[in-house]
Amino acid sequence: MSAIHSIQFLYTISGFAVGLLVGLTGVGGGSLMTPLLILLFGMHPAAAVGTDLLYAAATKSAGSAMHGFNRTVDWRVVVRLAAGSVPMTIVSIAVLSYLDINGQGTQQLIGWVLAFALLLTAGTLIFRNRIVARYAPSMGALPPNRIAVLTVVVGGILGVLVSISSVGAGAIGVTALVLLYPKLPTARIVGSDIVHAVPLTLVAGIGHWFLGSIDWPVFAALILGSVPGILIGSYAAARVPETALRVVLALTLLAVAAKLSFGLIPSSTNIVAVQTSAPH
């Protein structure tokens, strides 16, 4: 097996492992895949984020179709989230373009936003129940128009986080929706969050495509592994203690965030360059 084929195989195995965790826990796609591409494979942060965004859009499309078929989507919530996330995604991509997607400053910005998003995700995984128990009753008592505005604001925050780091659409989005809509069934909250993640990651991914920060061979290898991983993980989800998995995942994210925070992103001398695969 050639070196190139060996690396592609490792990408596929990584896609399978992350897909398995997503199937088991419902979160962890961007929060694991992007750091993995940066820290393990030495990919340029912008290329890692852009590739993972399209990877997420493709993998979550299947989940969205299933939730739509099962009628576990609150389209009112999806529209409100998208009203905030899509415009802020476009703004974020424009800022990345202005800063120069290949620049050292952009690399550092992505690293810091990624570390922050990972810490926030880990916190929501560990303390979600406590957060919901404390704040959901008061949030649920707010008037409907205030809830609608806050949902748009949450969408805007997710748009910025996801566009720059590819992290946040899962655990953070679900926790925010549980707080804002405590009476909404869990299945509809999860379904609405997954459906909203598709246009969010797709718009952000297309933006990164125009910036030239997509590695298509890596994208194909990740998809090849993630599909069976998600299927197996989803099947095994009911047979594995979810709480234990969430704690392990949260601790992993904390460790990765610590590495990123202390500047252990590969230096510009050994980072894989951003692929010049922008549309013409």
For residue 279, being part of any structural domain is answered with no
For residue 25, being part of any structural domain is answered with yes
For residue 10, being part of any structural domain is answered with yes
The 10s digit of each residue's pLDDT in 218-254 is: 999 998 988 788 778 766 655 666 566 667 667 767 7
Number of domains in the chain: 1
For residue 270, being part of any structural domain is answered with no
Full-model pTM:
0.80
The 3-class secondary structure across 43-70, one letter per residue, is ECHHHHHHHHHHHHHHHHHHHHHHHHHC
For residue 69, being part of any structural domain is answered with yes
How far is Cα 266 from Cα 260, in angstroms, rounded to an integer?
Answer: 10
How high is the pLDDT of residue 269? Answer: 36
Domain holding 90, by residue range, is 3-261
Mean residue pLDDT across the chain = 81
The one-character DSSP state at 274 is: P
SS3 category, 94: helix
For residue 272, being part of any structural domain is answered with no
For residue 267, being part of any structural domain is answered with no
For the beta carbon of residue 234, count every other beta carbon within 10 angstroms: 17
With a cut of 90, say whether residue 72 has pLDDT above it: no
**Which residue, 66, 55, 62, is CA-closest to 32?**
55
For residue 19, being part of any structural domain is answered with yes
